[in-house]
Structures are given as structure tokens and as C-alpha cells.
Structure 1
């Protein structure tokens, strides 16, 4: 959305105002809020893999609507659908990783998982920059359409990804779970060897450990996942952390940069669209690879200071917060509460994201200045 808002063809086609800019930004959060209500049933009932499948199909449908949008209402509905699909994936994908990976690598990989958000942002920024000179609505329709690629890749790769052994065990599919645990030992391609026997023994031991842990959890937490979140003091503390963390990540200030970079740059004196798109590319490079870029106006000291602070803030946020958004919610709760806990986290993240989508647009227009005391 940062890139699209910089493109004149996009803003002029929809005749955007402060209200409709906020609505376009908020639409994906509306979908995410609704999707948060479906996260736990989809991930726990259909399974982690099918959850990713459902999320990918929904997202592709939303992308098609967005790319073909003829008016603002169609664009907003499309963004709601994309937000809903993204929410489902945010429950299924990190949970699947958490339940497949061994403890020694789980934290590192889950941290990398959401950090790759910036890979997508960087690609998006480059695509927007490359499409800026297309003399038609395809300058914004093409970046919208290319959003289908990650979901398409997920659909292509999903047949080769194993299901969560914990989910399979919870559904009584112990033999399938054991096969996956065996494959995860890394010796499936060398049967009838000593390594193969070791892997089989390790898979059987892992299966017993997982079943034992799940049985203890079931005995300790016999109610449904939503009731258990409130049933005991430890779980209430987990719930408090999930609520506060979900609220925090949308209210630390990064939201303004993520959705209203154009207005920040306008106010700083960088009004040229090409310069703004270059800064958008550079900022995403910095967030993932610590690169930099800047614009050019008369007030050089003010410009450089503003952009330097933006880069510093985003760098620290990316280092400290971004990796934990997929790692912490997945790790803090037991198996039975994991999907429900992530749903709570995402509900509050999306709720405050929705609030900021509207509030920040008006705040940056100066509409709130009249409400402040002299």
C-alpha cells in the first residue's frame, strides 16, 4: 500500500481522500479481524497444511479482485479478502513450522520466517518502482496482480511439505505421524543401514514423547482451548502477554511508516514520486539488509535528519520486534492452546491496526490539531 499510494495513477483513478486512503489501508485489517475468528477452527480442525491451502486460495481470489478493481468498493472488498486469507496463513504456517522443527533450530527458523516479510516488501517496492512509468492503470494493477505469486508458490510446494506430527497424533493417525518423524531424522533415503535403525528408534522415541506430552496436557487442560486460556493463572498470564504484544506491535510507531510513508516524505519536503519510491525500496533493503537511500530537496539537513530517524527506527524495530511476531505467540502456548493463542494475538494486532489505519490518516492531515489546547 505504501508503494501504491505513491503512484499518481492509483490515487487519481480512485480519487482518494483522507477517508478513502484510511479505508483502503484499513480493509486488510478488517479481513484480518474476521480471519482471527477462523484461525483456531481452521488450523485445529482442518490441519496445518490444509489451513495453508485454504489461506492461499482465499488470498489468490482477493488478489484477482484487487487487480481487476473498477471502483473503490471493489478494491476495499478485495483487500478484506486478502486480509482474511493472510490471517488464516498466520495461524497455520508458523504453527506448522513450530511443530515440525526440532527445538535446537525452531527459534532461529521462526525468527527468520516473519523477518522475510521484508523480502516481500522489498520485492513489492521494486515492482512499484518499475511500474511507475506504465501509462495506464496497469501501473497499479500489475503490482496488485503479482501478489498472487507467493500463494501460488505455496500451492505448488505444499504437496511436498509434511503435516504436523502433533496434529496427526491428535487425530489418531499415529502411523502417519511416525513416518513424518522418521523422515525428519534425515535418513529416509538410506534404508537397511545402521543409520536407518537409529532413525527408526529416534522416530519411535519422538512419537512416544509427543504422545506423552499431549496426554499430560489433555489431563491438565481438559476444556476447549478458549476456556482454557482463562482457566488457570499461568494461562491467564499467557493470555495477557498475547493481548499486550498484539496491541504493542501496531502502536509503536512503525504503523505510520508502513502505511503513510508518502505523507511523511511529503511533509519532509520529498514530493517527487520517483524519489519516494526509491526511498521505499531503500527502506525495505535496510530493514532486511541494512541498506539506505534518500531524496533531494532544498532543505537538506531537515530531509536527511527525518529519513535517518525513519531508517534508525525501522532498523531497531526489525531487529527487536519483527522476528518475535511469529516466534513468541507460537512458543508461549501449549499444543492445545497454540492456534487459539495466535488467534488472540492477531485479533488485537489487527484491531489496533484497523484503529491506526483511520486515525493516522486524519492525524497526518492535521485534522486533530484543532482539538489540541493552545
Structure 2
């Protein structure tokens, strides 16, 4: 009797967990992700197949890095006398055209990118878009006049959008289930890595002789470095299992998951669970016999998704961050910091700070939740922007007092602490979760369209408004952020702790016909 008791107490945890799973296998619908995860598994960095899979995500992350490089590059060039002299000190409309050249290219890419992602997978558009980015960077560095520089910017925008849309989707669709949230959150934080590299390069080349155009040509050419790495390495990544299932390649999808999630095992309860969820979700979506944009209007859950898809990019671009992202030099001019070298140093320091803060925020998405971080971000931005505006007004009225100018600078850093907490790491993670597979590419495309509209506003309106009314323009953003606080509080549901397929329960609820059918089956 004692021996049996000891055997019960000291039962191998792996065997005990397998017994629990076996009991539920009679009805797979009762299984949860926790049930099928390997017991006592080694940390991912000590597990070869997971280490290789997670490291391979860097190739997708580089799409965000390239975007960040572009944003910081324009800031650096505007503070560089060699670039200003070569292009005859562009201001107003001409400057807005150069800043928005990338956006013009994106507009051309919007109609075709979702189709490419849905019909050719996730890897090919990343390869093709990155190749165009390399070509655009070469042309940008070789520009002889305003027109050539603008055309190169349009090519960069066209290729950049094609590479950006599938990148976070591929991360979320191939990541190990318990790693998906943090890996997808990290994606957009690498924007600041690109910004940091661009800020460092432009700061260094700005010390080159005033007579040489290589001061701006070198940073322009280096914009093609990260996309070149993607062109070389993208096909070392697996294709999305969800895409493979959608195209009827079920066995290939299963082999992909067995290799990268189960270390090449012939059988895996985890892979069985994932395949069942993926196939059920995609079969239900295919049964609707429609994958057009009109699907966003057909159910309450999809209309809620459309609201989130439009609201989040607007928050990302219209929370006042556009003032610093593309017009930092004008903001610093408005508080009396006019020295070009000091402006470049502040740009570099702010970029390092943003990279650290955003990466730290990405690590907390499961602890504090998506909604919690959105709320902290919007409330914090509103508070810091109000103080920023008051200090800017006092500084200008009193004749640029250094203490007040430093106070504004401190508020800029505080603002970015709050901004990065919710508007950097969380958006792509949140949207890839709330969007079903058939709407994911279209939803991310809509997100980019809304972001582009906001960027056009930032590119043309911000520079004019900052020149004409200075700090008074900040009041507009105070009102916008206040609306964001209300929207997050009432309309942003929490999604943490669920698989991609389970999030449908959050938005569709029991009013959705598919969910009602599942509930009836479970009750039966």
C-alpha cells in the first residue's frame, strides 16, 4: 500500500500530463493549449528547433527596421547642411513632397499587396518588396536632382509596403504558440533599431566637408542594407502553415509545424491541436464563400474589427509623434535649440531611448495585457502633451528661457515613454490577433492605408502649421489624444492568453452563427 502511495506521489510529470491529455482525446474540443504543451520542456534558448525558429524571425523584423531607418534618415538629412544646400533648402510643399515620396509609392502598392499575400504566400512578397527597396536605395543615393530623389522615394515606398504587410503576419503565423505574443510585439520595436542606425550614420557623415554630396549619399545608399539581407535570407524561413492550409497543402503545413514546433517528431499532441484549430477556422471562413473587403461590414464582430483596424493606425500616427518623427528640427527650433550638431545628437539619443523603452514594453504584453498598455499609453501621452504645450507657450512668450526649453525636451522624452508603451509594440500584435486569417492581409492593408492618410497629413500639414502657429498647433493633438483615451476605454477588448483562432470568441461572441454552432456542439 505504501509503495502504491509513493508511486502516486512521485509519478513522472510527463506521464501524468500525458494521461490527462489521453483522457481528453476522446473529445479534442475539450483540449486547451496548456494541455498539449510539452511538460518540463527546456527553455527555448536551450531547445535547438525553437532557438533557430526564433532567430529566423529577425528576417521579418528587418521590414520594421527599414521603415525606422527611413523615418530617421529624413530627420538627419534635414539637419545636414550638405543635403540642404544640394536641394536648395526645401521648405513647405517641396519638403512635404520629399517626406511623402514614400507615401506616394505606397498608394500605388495598396491595391495589389493583399492579393499577393493571399495568393503567393508570405515569403514571396517580402522577397519582392525588399528587392525593390534595394533598387530604390541605389537610385536615391545616385540622385542628381529633386525629381530623381522623389522618384527613388516612391520606389522605396512601393517596395516597402509590399514587404511590410506580410512580415508581422508571418511572425504571428509561424511562431511557437507561447512565443507568438512577444515575438509579434517585438516586430515594431525594431523600427527604432533602423532609426538608430540612420541617426548614427547621418551624424557621422554630417562632419564630412560641406562641398561633398557623399554626406547624404552614403546614408541614402545604406538604406538598402537591411532589405538586401531579407532578399538573401527570406527563403530560409518556413512558409505560413495557415497559408498552406488555406491553399489545400495540409500535409506540408503539418510537416512545417512538426519540424519547427515539435523538433521533427513524427507525432505531436501540440501540432495536432494547432492543425485542428487552423483547419476548423479556415474551413469556417471558406464556407462563407467570400473574402472581399465587404466581409468587414457583414457581422457585428467584423465591423468591430474594422473600427480597430482604422483606429489603431490613426492613433499610431496622429498622437503628436509625427511632429518629432519627421520634423524634430522644427520642434527644437521652436524652443531655441538651433545648433545642427546638437539637434543630431538629440535625435540619436532619443532614438536609443525609444529602442530601449519599446523593447521593454514588448516584454510586458502578457503581464499587463493589450488593453492595459493602450490605456496607459493614451492617458500618459495626454498628460505629457498638455505639460509640453504649456511649457512651449511660456518659453516662447518669455524669449526662449533655457530652463523652459529643457522642460519641453524632458516632456518629449516622457511623451515617448508613454507612446512606446502602447503604440509601438502592441498594434501589430493586437491586429494580427483580432483579424481572422481571411481578413488578416486585407486588414493590415487597411491599417497601412489609414496610416498613409495620416502620414500625408503629417507630411504636409505639420510643417506648415509648425511654421505658422508654432506651439498653438499642439492643442490639436491634445484634443485628438483625448478622443483616443475614450475610444480605448470603451471599444478595445482584451485578447491576451488566447491563440489566434480563439480570439474570435472575444469579438464575435455568442451572437456569431459559427460560435453558436460550436456552443451547441459542446453542450451536446
Give the TM-score normalised by structure 2.
0.65
Shift of 1:208: 3.4
SS at match of 2:284: helix
Shift of 1:224: 2.1
Of 235, 253, 258, the residue aligned with 1:177 is: 253
Aligned partner of 1:347 in structure 2 is 449
Shift of 1:225: 3.1
Aligned partner of 1:12 in structure 2 is 85
Shift of 1:290: 5.3
Aligned partner of 2:350 in structure 1 is 283
Of 140, 147, 151, the residue aligned with 1:73 is: 147
Of 283, 287, 300, the residue aligned with 1:215 is: 283
CA contact (8 A) 1:4 1:128 kept: yes
SS at match of 1:37: coil
SS at match of 1:21: helix
Distance in 2 between the 1:161 and 1:177 partners? Answer: 13
Distance in 2 between the 1:20 and 1:10 partners? Answer: 14
Of 208, 221, 226, the residue aligned with 2:293 is: 226
CA contact (8 A) 1:67 1:144 kept: yes
Distance in 1 between the 2:285 and 2:291 partners? Answer: 12
Shift of 1:166: 0.9
Aligned partner of 2:465 in structure 1 is 363
Aligned partner of 2:317 in structure 1 is 250
Shift of 1:197: 4.0
User: Which one is further off, 79-88 or 336-345?
Assistant: 79-88
CA contact (8 A) 2:174 2:240 kept: yes
Shift of 1:203: 3.3
SS at match of 1:249: helix
Does residue 274 of structure 1 match 2:347?
A: no
Aligned partner of 1:165 in structure 2 is 241
Distance in 2 between the 1:74 and 1:273 partners? Answer: 26
Superposed CA offset, 1:317-344 (max 9, x none): 1111111232122121100000000111
Q: How does 1:184-223 map to 2 (within 5 A)?
A: 184-188=260-264, 196-199=265-268, 202-219=270-287, 221-223=288-290
Aligned partner of 2:59 in structure 1 is none
User: Which one is further off, 143-152 or 16-25?
Assistant: 16-25
Of 171, 188, 194, the residue aligned with 1:120 is: 194
Aligned partner of 1:51 in structure 2 is 125
User: Which one is further off, 332-341 or 79-88?
Assistant: 79-88
CA contact (8 A) 1:129 1:278 kept: yes
Q: How does 1:92-171 map to 2 (within 5 A)?
A: 92-135=166-209, 136-171=212-247
Superposed CA offset, 1:7-42 (max 9, x none): 011111111122211111111122223323222111
Aligned partner of 2:13 in structure 1 is none
Distance in 2 between the 1:83 and 1:325 partners? Answer: 21
Distance in 2 between the 1:368 and 1:34 partners? Answer: 33
CA contact (8 A) 1:29 1:83 kept: yes
Stretches of structure 2 that go unaligned for 5 or more consecutive residues are 1-73, 359-398, 474-524
Distance in 1 between the 2:415 and 2:203 partners? Answer: 23
Distance in 2 between the 1:289 and 1:209 partners? Answer: 36
Distance in 1 between the 2:410 and 2:470 partners? Answer: 26
User: Which one is further off, 203-212 or 238-247?
Assistant: 203-212
Does residue 89 of structure 1 match 2:163?
A: yes
Superposed CA offset, 1:187-219 (max 9, x none): 23xxxxxxx3444x5434433332122112222
Task: Report the structure number with the largest CA radius of gyration.
Answer: 2
Aligned partner of 1:191 in structure 2 is none
Distance in 1 between the 2:233 and 2:428 partners? Answer: 21
CA contact (8 A) 2:196 2:352 kept: yes
Distance in 2 between the 1:105 and 1:300 partners? Answer: 46
Stretches of structure 1 that go unaligned for 5 or more consecutive residues are 189-195, 292-296
Superposed CA offset, 1:34-63 (max 9, x none): 323222111111110001011101111111
Highest RCO, 1 vs 2 (Cα 8 Å, sep ≥ 6):
1
Distance in 1 between the 2:321 and 2:205 partners? Answer: 26
Number of aligned positions between the proteins: 357
SS at match of 2:111: helix
Shift of 1:303: 2.4
Distance in 2 between the 1:317 and 1:51 partners? Answer: 30
Give the TM-score normalised by structure 1.
0.90
Distance in 2 between the 1:197 and 1:23 partners? Answer: 56
